Amino acid sequence: MIDMSEKKNERVEAMKKMGFNDFRNATPHKFDDISSETFREYEFPEHTVRIDHPVALNVNFSSGGHRVWDAEGTSHYIPGGWKHLSWKVDDDKPHFVK
């Protein structure tokens, strides 16, 4: 069984690491703050990609690709072609921000 206090502590620790104000963007791409999300998952036909504690998001509307930066400081590129996207937000945060 998952201890909810352990999950909450994990999120608190991640938030101490990096936030949207720490994000450095040297591209013309516009990024949105998605730090209210606990995680997001991209489901492909043969696998799922999970990003814990996402902070910043850029969506390329022509290719469908997503650039995501997380609270650990890792940059992710998710190519278009996924068939499902899901996420969970922190308590009392908006379910949709964009």
- State residue 36's pLDDT score: 93
Model's pTM, two decimal places? 0.79
45 part of a folded domain: yes
15 part of a folded domain: yes
Distance between CA atoms of residues 4 and 46, nearest Å: 30
What is the Cα 79 distance to its own chain's centre? 14
Range of the domain at 53: 4-89
| 15: pLDDT strictly greater than 60 | no
Please, which residues have CB within 8 angstroms of residue 30's CB and are 6 or more apart in sequence? Answer: 58
Distance between CA atoms of residues 66 and 76, nearest Å: 8
**CB of 33 closer than 8 Å to CB of 70:** no
64: three-class secondary structure by DSSP: coil
94 part of a folded domain: no
Span 39-63, pLDDT tens digits:
999 999 999 999 999 999 999 999 9
Upper half-sphere CA count for residue 82 (Cβ side, 13 Å): 18
95 part of a folded domain: no
Domain count for the chain? 1
40 part of a folded domain: yes
